[in-house]
Amino acid sequence: MLTRQTMMSHLITTEPELFPDPIDQAASEHEIDIALSVKLFAIEKLRRIEQALTSLHTRSYGICSRCNHQIPYARLRVQPDSLYCVPCLTIMEQHSDGS
């Protein structure tokens, strides 16, 4: 009986270290899971926003503001901030010259 009691008390005192509360462990793992999925979701969301912004930026970038046609890459290389394609710029220059 005494041996059994000693064993029991020994088990009780050592149990928390050897066997952490399954519920506590599950909760913390669950919390980690949630934290991780939230983090991944946030990263995924940010990535999508970034992609959208990038596509939006690249879509409007290099597009002529007058005729909405693609400005030739050669022109963008010479003048990366050009807003108009050469034909439109020529037309606009002619118009400004005439008036």
- Applying CB under 5 A, which residues contact Zn ion? 64, 66-67, 85, 88
If the CB atoms of residues 6 and 68 are measured against Zn ion, the closer one turns out to be: 68
Whichever of 41 and 61 has its CB closer to Zn ion, that residue is: 61
**Buried/exposed 60-80: b ≥16 CB within 10 Å, e otherwise:** eebbbeeeeeebeeebeeeee
* Shortest separation between residue 41's beta carbon and Zn ion, angstroms: 42
CA–CA separation, 46 and 21 (whole Å): 37
Q: Which is nearer to Zn ion, 66 or 75 (CB)?
A: 66
| Contact predicate 71/85, CB 8 Å | yes
Residue 55: CB minimum distance to Zn ion, A: 21
Q: Minimum Å distance from CB 43 to Zn ion?
A: 39
- In whole angstroms, the minimum distance from the beta carbon of 71 to Zn ion comes to 7
Closer to Zn ion by Cβ: residue 22 or 80 = 80
Other beta carbons within 10 angstroms of residue 3's beta carbon come to 7
CA distance 57 to 70: 14
